Amino acid sequence: MARTRLSFVVRRTERLTGHLIRVHLGGPGFEAFQPNGFTDAYVKLQIPGPDGDTTRTYTVRSIDPELEQIAIDFVYHGQEGVAGPWAAAAKPGDQLDLTGPGGAYSPSPEADWHLLAGDESALPAISAACAALPASAVGRVFVEVTGPEDELDFARPEGVELTWIHRGDREPGVTLAEAVRAEPWLDGEAHVFIHGEAQVVMHDLRPYIRKERGVPANRASISGYWRRGRTEETFRQWKRELAESEGAAPAAARR
């Protein structure tokens, strides 16, 4: 069943870091927008361009019922890609259509501790998850960014430790995987959320969590949000092929 296309307009934008832009969207589509309760809630954006709309998948960072708007964070690397340049040029009144939200993860209140890890693409979902944790929660959070200038503080319980990983010139995901593997494993039942560059997440961190640490599938949300060197269209094909080889349904690609 096709999802209803909702029309939003840009209310305002803000530059969070040199590589992260937050766009606040309101307008007529908000009334029909139905939050699903997941902290990794995502929407399919129809990015306008000279050759028509391009679909890109993004996490909803926050929902403000009073202002009747949602916020979405865009990773920006100059004119690279489609969505980042759009966000950098967006101005109040610009229209942006979307469908959704989808989603599947929220931190379990029954878990003894939480492990969340990812790169810039996963930061909105990680931030939303930390905000949803109870004050007594215990956890470890790892976020990989290019350098210290890309660090962005966000609310989290006192017992949730945040570690920033600086990749520098290394390939995305490598330093993140090293940090997660090096972290001492806590006692008790863990609930895990790891998303980011697909090659590292799916072929390094997922086997580590599922096989070496023995975390069951219902306590581990692990998937790639993007794949280095691929557009979202070719990444979706890569995920379909991976899912078919493993007998599972692919998760949504997003940046």
Start-end of CATH 3.40.50.80 domains in the chain: 113-246
**What per-residue confidence (pLDDT) applies to 202?**
87
Structure token pair of residue 6:
């909702």
Gap between the Cα atoms of 29 and 9, Å rounded? 9
Residue-wise pLDDT tens for the chain (255 aa)? 457 899 999 999 999 998 999 999 999 999 999 999 999 999 999 999 888 899 999 999 999 999 999 999 999 988 888 999 999 999 999 999 999 999 999 999 999 999 999 999 899 999 999 999 999 999 999 999 999 999 998 999 999 999 999 999 998 889 999 999 999 999 999 999 999 888 888 889 999 999 999 999 999 999 888 775 555 555 455 456 555 666 655 555 555
Residues in CB range of 163: below 8 A, 6 or more apart: 140, 141, 142, 143, 179
Start-end of CATH 2.40.30.10 domains in the chain: 6-102
Q: Of 186, 23, 22, which Cα lies nearest the Cα of 115?
A: 186
Q: What is the CATH number of domain 113-246?
A: 3.40.50.80
**What per-residue confidence (pLDDT) applies to 232?**
56
**What per-residue confidence (pLDDT) applies to 203?**
87
Q: Of 146, 116, 122, which Cα lies nearest the Cα of 220?
A: 116
Phi/psi for 200 (5° steps) reads -70, -45
Structure token pair of residue 54:
């391009």
Instruction: Give 12's DSSP letter.
Output: E
Half-sphere exposure for 101 (CA within 13 Å, toward CB): 24
Q: What is the CATH number of domain 6-102?
A: 2.40.30.10
Q: What pTM, to 2 d.p., does this model score?
A: 0.87
82 to each of 14, 51, 57, 210, 249, how far by Cα in Å? 18, 12, 11, 34, 26
**What per-residue confidence (pLDDT) applies to 49?**
84
Gap between the Cα atoms of 214 and 188, Å rounded? 12
**What per-residue confidence (pLDDT) applies to 244?**
62
Gap between the Cα atoms of 187 and 185, Å rounded? 7
Gap between the Cα atoms of 78 and 9, Å rounded? 23
Gap between the Cα atoms of 179 and 188, Å rounded? 20
